[in-house]
Amino acid sequence: MVVGHLTAADADRVFHALADATRRDILIRVIRSEQSVSALARHYPMSFAAVQKHVAVLEKAALVGKKRRGREQMVHAEHETLRRIARLLDAYEDLWRQRNDQITAILEEDDERVEK
């Protein structure tokens, strides 16, 4: 089992890759099942080369990987990266909860003072 730490540059790349509707759609498709680049390209109103670039962005972010099969490049999701970035956002949410807990604690402390 890999510990799996995400550097700041990694997070930059992953969030950047996700910041485009076409790339998110490609990711969803390959999560469902791996597909060749040209099969993916058929779904979008842009050139094959443009889709190829989107896949390259996802690949540099390690959100997908490619595996040659004959003359096709099969694109598959790299679930571990998706998991890591989801956990990173969870950590942000935890920060918020901790802050709220502190505020709640302080307010309760005030209540005690008032009651005394």
Q: By the 8 A CB rule, do 80 and 43 touch?
A: no
Binding mask 56-85 for a second copy (x = CB under 8 A): ---------------------x-x--xx-x
Residues 6+ apart with CB under 8 A from 64: 26, 27, 30, 55, 58, 75, 76, 77, 78
Binding mask 37-76 for DNA (x = CB under 7 A): xxx-x----xxxxx-xxx--x--------x---xxxx---
Q: Cβ 3 to a second copy, closest distance in Å?
A: 19
CA-based nearest residue to 3, from 73, 113, 80, 97:
80
Q: Using CA atoms, how far apart are residues 79 and 3, in angstroms rounded to an integer?
A: 14
Partner touching 3 among a second copy, DNA, none, CB below 5 to 8 Å by kind? none
Using CB under 7 A, list all residues that contact DNA: 16, 19-20, 22, 36-39, 41, 46-50, 52-54, 57, 66, 70-73
